């Protein structure tokens, strides 16, 4: 990757969140309440060197920044959380699965299996849906999660192995 590609990944996946936080944080601190949820990725733990190094590095930086921010502003009433999705079945990922399937001479399910295999498998046997990710974010933003701060919440169908 060249400098321009690295800068684009950092702008999109790290600096945009930092800029939004700088804009909204003073108001949240002034009212003594707020929730910031950064969407990181399991790629920070499991980068795919052939295709996601810049993305994974930016998401790793976002995760560290988020943890630091939570330590700074949680005592002021602002919770900061991270959601780390694995593979999400979006229109774009479906197109990738279709392309992989066509290149390998298989069907869409075969293309999806190729993606899951590249990730080392997904124990539940399928990617997450956008609705599942949104439900987790909605819960974390709610008062029901009022004592949760500083954590990274992985939603990946079991993809990331534990130590």
Kindly list the distances between the CA atom of residue 111 and the CA atoms of 12, 43, 45, 96, 126, in Å, as whole numbers in the listed order: 27, 20, 23, 8, 12
Q: Establish whether 65 is a catalytic residue.
A: no
The domain locations on the chain are 3-88+128-155
The rounded radius of gyration (Å) of the Cα atoms in the chain is 17
For 119-151, how does the pLDDT look when each residue is reduced to its tens digit (9 = 90+)?
888 999 989 999 999 999 999 999 999 999 999
- Distance of alpha carbon 19 from alpha carbon 108, whole angstroms: 39
Catalytic residue among 55, 58, 79, 112: 55
For 38-61, how does the pLDDT look when each residue is reduced to its tens digit (9 = 90+)?
999 998 888 776 667 899 999 999
Pick the CATH number of 3-88+128-155 from 3.40.50.720, 3.40.1180.10, 3.40.640.10, 1.10.1200.10: 3.40.50.720
pTM for this one?
0.88
| Nearest alpha carbon to residue 115 among 60, 163, 162, 159 | 159
For 69-122, how does the pLDDT look when each residue is reduced to its tens digit (9 = 90+)?
999 999 999 999 999 999 899 998 888 889 889 999 999 889 888 888 888 889
């Amino acid at each position: 990757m060249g400098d321009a590609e690295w800068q684009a990944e950092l702008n999109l996946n790290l600096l945009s969140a930092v800029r939004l936080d700088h804009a909204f944080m003073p108001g949240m601190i002034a009212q003594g309440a707020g929730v910031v949820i950064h969407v990181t990725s399991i790629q920070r733990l499991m980068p795919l060197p052939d295709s996601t190094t810049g993305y994974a590095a930016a998401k790793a930086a976002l995760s560290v920044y988020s943890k630091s921010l939570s330590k700074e502003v949680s005592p002021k009433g602002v919770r900061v959380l991270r959601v780390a999705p694995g593979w999400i079945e979006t229109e774009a990922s479906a197109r990738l699965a279709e392309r992989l399937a066509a290149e390998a001479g298989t069907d869409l399910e075969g293309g999806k299996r190729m993606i899951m295999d590249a990730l080392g498998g997904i124990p539940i046997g399928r990617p997450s849906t956008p609705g599942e990710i949104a439900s987790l974010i909605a819960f974390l933003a709610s008062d029901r999660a009022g004592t949760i701060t500083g954590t990274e919440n992985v939603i990946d169908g079991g993809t990331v192995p534990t130590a």
